[in-house]
Chains A and B, each alone.
Chain A
Amino acid sequence: MKNKTDVIVVGGGPAGISAAVTIARAGKNVILIERGKFSGSKNVFGGAIYAKPTREIFPNFEETAPLERKTVSHKYLMCTEEDSTSVTYHATKDEPNSYSVIRSKFDRWMAKEAQKEGVVIVTETLVTELIVKENKVVGVITELEEYFADIVILADGVNSLLAKQIGLRKEIKPKDVALGVKEVIKLPKEVIEDRFNLADGEGTIGEVFGFPMTGILGLGFIYTYKEAVSIGLGVGLDELVERKIKPYELMEEFKSHPTIAPLLKGGELVEYSAHLIPEGGYKKIPKLYSHGVLVAGDSAMLVNSLHWEGTNLAMISGKLAGETAIEAINKKDFSANTLALYQKKMETSFIIKDLKTYKDLMGTLHYRAESFLGYYPKKISSFFRMFTEVDSIPKRDKFRAFLKSIFTDRSISELFKDGINLIKLVLGVLK
């Protein structure tokens, strides 16, 4: 048959590339179709890839990949309108947990590596539809022609119109995604290292709670590149809709916070970008396979919102999809029955286990955003303001006033609900 190969992978991001390279390494024929000018050209993320999962796909990536900075510290910053409280973990061991990367450079590098190992990559080509015959996916339709394959792996991203076409994905609701907006702001290398307390080549990650998203399900992020700072926020799409918030204006508010603004001072905007983050968690994972088709990465809604994992889940799910495809090719059986192996591999891996661990997290945060992302961060700030302020008021009086305020600023029933939800979350994680 013309235009027929073993596997077609749709989407040249981390999931698609990992799937394709796994298949090519087993000597099977694989074509990867990417709609952008090059891999990464349509992709956006905060800024860091994790070292261990990346090594599972590209064992020696640290030697040649375009890495920006190795992460040595992780800062959690809680902001109110006028102040902030932070906790920083600083790692001193040699082996970094993650590296900041520029997505369009890193994905492009991964694609080139995959090409060297035999993956055929077609860029600037949009897959508009899947070809389905007798209830089985047998190929794809692009703007120009049809391609056929025994297996199609969908790694076409968070919007996955293709998974939707064949009914694997249901319509997404605004509360199941966050909108990420990001700016890359150019600053001299030395300035970045001074401002963020970094040695040469070291980088940091900042997670920002609270202002300007006090009581809203949303977080800010800061990553350091060699000569730029990546700053942005992810906020529930439902929150934007209901509160009539313009994301770019929220971003300006975030950047103007007295703790954030000095970090960016004098910098020049290099690029503005936006992307959806599939944050629905375990309950929103679609069926991962059907006859002749597998779904990986963002297309499968694989994001761990609490630990900021997404790219790694994309890579490992892509690898598992690739392994499943190899077994199916060897057995010459592409039925859902055989491809169900992917589901099993996913369930026994950390991916589904972790997402299951946090299955109630997003629901609880939606329900309690006003307290967990509003009231308590403010209370933490007011505690430290009280604790550091020297004003000739006896300390015992100040402590008592603070404790009393916890019970007067918020009704007992709300405090009780917060407590119950917190305990439920912790038990949900540990059980």
Chain B
Amino acid sequence: MTDEEKIEPKLSIDDKLFKVKYVPDEESHLKPDEAQCLACKSKSCTYICPAHVYEWDEENKRLIIGHENCLECGACRIACEKKCIKWQYPKGTKGVTFKQG
């Protein structure tokens, strides 16, 4: 295979997030109502979030939240079928800082 034919490797979400600058807060600014999550059918937050913040832990029947990767877009708040995510902005000194934007 010559250089010309080489296909660029696809980037994973981790590769992408590795390039983002954050100051993580200890406390999560994303607070879903766990009882509602259990009853939620689509669990759309686990796939629509552009930073893959949410993952469903089938074994323990709960949502794992990586709030420190949040890009603060607000998509989960709007997409949530139970409208149960208490969504706030991180504190003034915390969260994502886009250097390009």
Contact = CB atoms under 8 A, between A and B. Distances in A.
Interface of A: 35-37, 40-45, 102-104, 107, 123-126, 128, 142-143, 158-159, 161, 171-174, 177, 179, 181, 183-184, 228, 230, 237, 240-241, 244-248, 252, 255-256, 261, 264-265, 269-276
Contacts of B75: 177, 179, 237, 240, 274, 276
Query: Chain B binding site: helix, strand, loop or mixed by DSSP?
Result: loop
A230 to B, nearest CB: 8
Given A248-B50, A271-B20, A237 B78 contact: yes
Contacts of B78: 172-174, 177, 237, 276
Interface string B71-98: 1111101110001000111111101111
Contacts of B51: 274
A142 B99 contact: no
Contacts of B88: 128, 161
Contact of B42 (A104, A241, A256): A241
Interface of B: 7-8, 10-11, 13, 15-17, 19-20, 42, 44, 47-48, 50-52, 71-75, 77-79, 83, 87-93, 95-101
A240 B48 contact: yes
A270 B8 contact: no
B15 A126 contact: no
Contacts of A181: 50
Nearest to B48: A240
Contact of A174 (B16, B79, B93, B96): B79
A177 B76 CA distance: 12
Contact of A41 (B19, B50, B87, B98): B98
A273 B92 contact: no
Given A271-B20, A273-B100, 4 more contacts: A124-B92, A159-B74, A230-B100, A274-B71
Interface centre among A104, A159, A255, by most chain B C-beta atoms within 10 angstroms, is A159
A115 B96 CA distance: 24
A255 B10 CA distance: 9
The 3 closest A-B pairs by CB, nearest first: A103-B101, A274-B50, A272-B16
B72 A42 contact: yes
B91 A143 contact: yes
B101 A104 contact: yes
B97 to A, nearest CB: 5
A273 B20 contact: yes
B83 A271 contact: no
A247 B11 contact: no
A9 to B, nearest CB: 16
Contacts of A174: 78-79
Given A240-B47, A270-B19, A271-B20, A248 B79 contact: no
Nearest to A102: B100
A252 B50 CA distance: 12
B71 to A, nearest CB: 4
A45 to B, nearest CB: 7
B48 A237 contact: yes
Given A246-B47, A270-B100, A275 B89 contact: no
A351 to B, nearest CB: 23
B79 to A, nearest CB: 5
Contact of B98 (A35, A246, A273): A273
Contact of B73 (A45, A184, A241, A275): A275
A50 B42 CA distance: 40
Contacts of B89: 35, 126, 161
20 contacts: A40-B101, A41-B98, A42-B96, A45-B101, A103-B98, A104-B97, A104-B98, A125-B92, A126-B91, A143-B92, A161-B89, A179-B75, A228-B100, A255-B8, A256-B7, A261-B8, A265-B8, A269-B19, A270-B99, A274-B73
B69 to A, nearest CB: 11
